[in-house]
Structure 1
Amino acid sequence: MGILWMIIIGAVAGFLAGQVFRGYGFGFVGNVAVGIVGALIGGFLFGNVFLVGGLVGQIISATVGAVILLFVISLVAR
């Protein structure tokens, strides 16, 4: 069940990051991948910093991590 939640959170985080970074959507599978990698980045950077725990905290940290990832991708793509 953990992998399913990771995919769902990754999809939501990837979608939200794609909305923040207009023009950097990668389709459903790409957004899930960006969201999962973003969740890893967000978890590494923030750990348990967010006071809102559970699902909402995971989505927030994954989205922030995904936005950071998209920012780095945009710098490399230049």
Structure 2
Amino acid sequence: MEAIWFILIGLAAGWLAGRLITGGGSSVIGYIIVGVFGSVIGGVLFDVLGVSTGSGVLGKLTVATVGAITFLLLLHVIKKP
């Protein structure tokens, strides 16, 4: 059941990041990939900064969305000619 929540939160975070940052994916699989990578990046980022968002779904979604936005911005920097 935990894996299903992880995927659903990743999907929502990827979709939100894709709406805020262009090039964030255009399919369900794309949103899930961006969101899952964002969850990992956000978790590390929040841990390094010592920021706590709580343990609820909203906190996890916040961390994943911030991480997904960071991931997309890094991709833009890397892909920039």
Q: Same fold by TM (over 0.5)?
A: yes
What does 1:11-26 align with in structure 2 at a 5 Å threshold? 11-26=11-26
Provide structure 1 residue ranges, at least 5 long, that are not aligned to the other structure. none
Query: How much has 1:49 moved relative to structure 2?
Result: 2.1
Runs of 4+ off more than 3 Å: 50-53
Pairwise CA RMSD: 1.5
Change (3 A) 1:77 1:51: closer
Distance in 1, Cα, partners of 2:25 & 2:71: 12
TM-score by length of 2: 0.86
1:5-35 per-position Cα deviation (integer Å, ceiling 9, x unaligned) = 1100000000000011024324110110110
Equivalent pairs, count: 78
Amino acid of the residue matched to residue 25 of structure 2? G
Distance in 1, Cα, partners of 2:24 & 2:16: 11
What does 1:50-65 align with in structure 2 at a 5 Å threshold? 50-65=52-67
Share of identical aligned residues, percent? 38
Aligned to 1:66: 68
TM-score by length of 1: 0.89
Provide structure 2 residue ranges, at least 5 long, that are not aligned to the other structure. none
1:32-70 per-position Cα deviation (integer Å, ceiling 9, x unaligned) = 011011001111111372444410000000000000000
